[in-house]
Structure 1
Amino acid sequence: MSHATIKDTRPSGQAPHRRNSLSRRGLPRWAQPVFAVVSVALGCGLGAAAGWESRVQWGLVSALLFVLIAYVTTSIVENRRQAKDRLATSVVWVCFVLAVVPLLSLIWVTVSRGAKAFDGYFLSHSMAGVPGFEAGGGVYHALIGTLEQVGLATVISVPIGLLTAVYLVEYGKGALARAVTFFVDVMTGIPSIVAGLFILSIMLLAGWQPSGFMGSLALTILMIPVVVRSTEEMLKLVPNELREASLALGVPKWRTIMKVVIPTAVGGISTGVMLAIARIAGETAPILLLVFGSQLINTNPFEGAQSSLPFYIWEQYKVGSEASYDRAWAAALVLIAFVMILNLVARGIARWKAPKTGR
C-alpha cells in the first residue's frame, strides 16, 4: 500500500505556524479590577473638577466610565465578540454594585447610630414611666409584642398555606384550582394597610377591642400567599418518580404526600416559611390600626393594646428628641438582627435538609 506524500513548501528552517485561538491576544485576568480603579479615579476627578457635591453623581459617572473603558479596550485588544461579552459582564457588575451599596450604607448607618442606645438595659426594660424626650427606657415590651404577634400569625398561616399548596399541586384541577391560584396571586400584591383595614372592619362590626391578636390576623393575610407560593414551588420540584414508586407499592395518595412528598421538600418549605416570617416582621400599618401600641409590658396578645418593633420605631421617631432618635435606631438594629437571624436559620435548614449528593 502506497502512501501519498505532501510536499512542504515552507522555506527551510521556518517553524510551522499554528493557528490556534490560544495564540490570540487577550486581556489578563486583572484587567477588570484595573478598569474599575481607573474608572473610579476618573469619575471622582471629573466630579471634583465639575464641582458636584453629590457622591451619587460621582458613582454614576464612574460606573458609566467602567462600562465604556472595558468595552473599548476589549474591542481594541481582542475582538468585537469578546467586547460584547465583557460589556454584558460589566453591566452585571455595575448592577450588582448599585444594589449592594445602598444595602451596605443602610446597615452601616443603622449599626453606627443604633449602637448608641443598644445594650442589655435597652433589651430588658420597657418605656413605662419614661418620658419620650428623655434618655432611658428600652424595647422589651415591643420585642415581646413582635414575637407574640408574628408567632400567632405563623401558627395560623403555615397550616393554611401548606394545605393550600398541597391541594394546588397534588389535587387541584379545573375551575376551583384556577380560582384559588388567582386569589393567591391577588393576595400576594395587596398592601398591608388594606389587610389592616379589612380586619379593622371586622373588629368594629364584632365589637372587639384592639389587641395583638387582631394584628396577627392582618399579618396572617399577608403571610399566607407567601407560604403558598414558596411551598407550591418546592412541591413541584419533587420528582414524580417518587410519587409513582410509592403509589405502585399500594400506598394511599394521602400517605404518599405525608411520608414522601412533604419530607422531600421540607427544606425548601422551611426556608419559605422563614422568609415569610421575615417579610411580616417589619409591617407597621396593621399594628397602627389594630394594636394601638403601648409603653407597658403586655404578655397577653388576646387582651389590651400591645407594641411591636416597627410601631416602637415609628413612635420614638415621632417624639423628635435626640434620645428618642437613638432609641428608634437601636430598635431598628434589633429588627434587622431579628430578620437576619431568621434568614440564617432558613439557610441552615435548607442546607441541612437538602438532598445529599454522591454516596
Structure 2
Amino acid sequence: MFTSDSIVNLENPVYRRRRAFNKLMLGLSWAALLSGLFWLFWIILTLIVKGGGALSLTLLTSPTPPPGADGGLLNAIVGSVMMAAVGTAIGTPIGILAGTYLAEYGQRGWLAPATRFLNDVLLSAPSIIIGLFIYAVYVAQVEHYSGWAGALALAILVIPVVVRSTDNMLMLVPNSLREAAAALGCPQWRIVTMICYRAAKSGIITGVLLAVARISGETAPLLFTALNNQFMSLDMNGPMANLPMVIYQYAASPYVDWNRLAWAGAVLITLLVLGINIAARTLFRKS
C-alpha cells in the first residue's frame, strides 16, 4: 500500500513518532474535556441536591425571612432584576457605539488599538475593583449605598463584553457589502445602521446576553455599592436586596433555614446563567 520511502509508513520512525505524539495530545485533550465536564456536572448536581428541595412557589413570592421563619427570595430577585436591567440599559448602548467606532471608524491612528487594549484590561479586571471604583466616586460622595450605585458597577462590567462582541461581529461583515453601498452613494452612517448592524445583529445580541449572564452572579461589586436590604424595596436611591448578596450572607449564617435559601438562590442564578448561555449559543448559532 505504501512505498518504502513514503512518510506514511509504519516502518518509518518519523511517522511512528508523529503518530504517537498525535495520540498523546488527543488523549490529553479528551482528558481535559472530560475533566471540565466532570466538575461542571458535579457543581450542578450538588446545587440541585442541596437547593432543589427549597425551590417552591413561596421562594418566588415571599421576601427574605428573619431567622426561624418561612420566606423566600422575592425582594432579592426583584432587586437583582432591577439593577441588572438598569446596568444593561446603561452599558449596552455605550458598548455598541464604542465597538462600532473600533470596527468602522478606527482603522487608522493609535486610538482604536489603545482602546482595544484598555477594553481587554477592563474585561479581565476583577469585579471587586469595579465595586471599589464606584464606591470611591459615587457611594462615598453621596454617603449611602444605593441600587443606582450597584447598577453603575454592573454597567461597567457590561461595557467591555459588548464592545468586544460588537467589534468582532462588525469586523466579520464583508467589505464588499460596504463598498457596494458606498458605490450607490450611501453615506457612512447609513451603511453602518442599515447594512452592518443588520448583518451582525445576531452576534451583537449574543454578546449582550452573555454580558447579562456575567453580571447576574456578581457579588463583589454589589458589596460596596448596593449592599443589601432585608425588606422589599423598589427605591433605587437606598440599599437594595440582590441574590448574590443574600446568598453570601445566608450561606455564612448559622441558621439552617437561611442556608437552605442560600442554596436555592444559588440554583436560581446557576439555572439563569446556564439558560442564557445555552440560548445565546443555540438561537444565534449562525452568527
1:344-355 alignment, distance < 5 Å: 344-351=278-285, 354=286
In structure 1, list runs of 5 or more residues that go unmatched.
1-18, 22-77
In structure 2, list runs of 5 or more residues that go unmatched.
4-14
The Cα of 1:205 is off from its aligned counterpart by: 5.1
1:134-173 alignment, distance < 5 Å: 134-172=68-106, 173=108
The Cα of 1:285 is off from its aligned counterpart by: 1.3
- Which residue of structure 1 lines up, in the alignment, with residue 8 of structure 2? none
- Aligned residue among 167, 170, 174 for 1:239: 174
- Which residue of structure 2 lines up, in the alignment, with residue 217 of structure 1? 152
The Cα of 1:239 is off from its aligned counterpart by: 0.7
Q: Distance in 2 between matches of 1:179 and 1:92?
A: 35
- Which residue of structure 2 lines up, in the alignment, with residue 253 of structure 1? 188
- Which residue of structure 1 lines up, in the alignment, with residue 55 of structure 2? 118
**Please, what TM-score do these two structures have when normalized by structure 1?**
0.73
AA matched with 2:23: R
More RCO (CA 8 Å, sep 6+): 2
Q: Deviations over 1:81-111 (max 9, x none)?
A: 4333222211110011111111110000000
| Alignment check: 8 A CA contact 2:165 2:207 kept | yes
AA matched with 1:149: M
Q: Distance in 2 between matches of 1:177 and 1:20?
A: 54
AA matched with 2:80: T
| Alignment check: 8 A CA contact 1:270 1:349 kept | no
Root mean square deviation, CA, Å: 1.8
Superposed structure 1 runs of 4+ greater than 6 Å apart:
none
- Aligned residue among 108, 125, 131 for 1:196: 131
2:32 pairs with 1:98: no
- Which residue of structure 2 lines up, in the alignment, with residue 278 of structure 1? 213
Q: Deviations over 1:172-223 (max 9, x none)?
A: 1313223322321221122111111111112245325321111010111111
1:1-359 alignment, distance < 5 Å: 19=1, 79-127=16-64, 130-132=65-67, 134-172=68-106, 173-204=108-139, 206-207=141-142, 209-301=144-236, 303-351=237-285, 354=286
The Cα of 1:20 is off from its aligned counterpart by: 5.8
Q: Distance in 2 between matches of 1:136 and 1:110?
A: 21
| Alignment check: 8 A CA contact 2:139 2:145 kept | no
Q: Distance in 2 between matches of 1:151 and 1:204?
A: 20
Q: Distance in 2 between matches of 1:88 and 1:175?
A: 40
The Cα of 1:153 is off from its aligned counterpart by: 0.7
**Please, what TM-score do these two structures have when normalized by structure 2?**
0.90
Q: Distance in 2 between matches of 1:81 and 1:189?
A: 37
> How many residues were matched structurally?
275
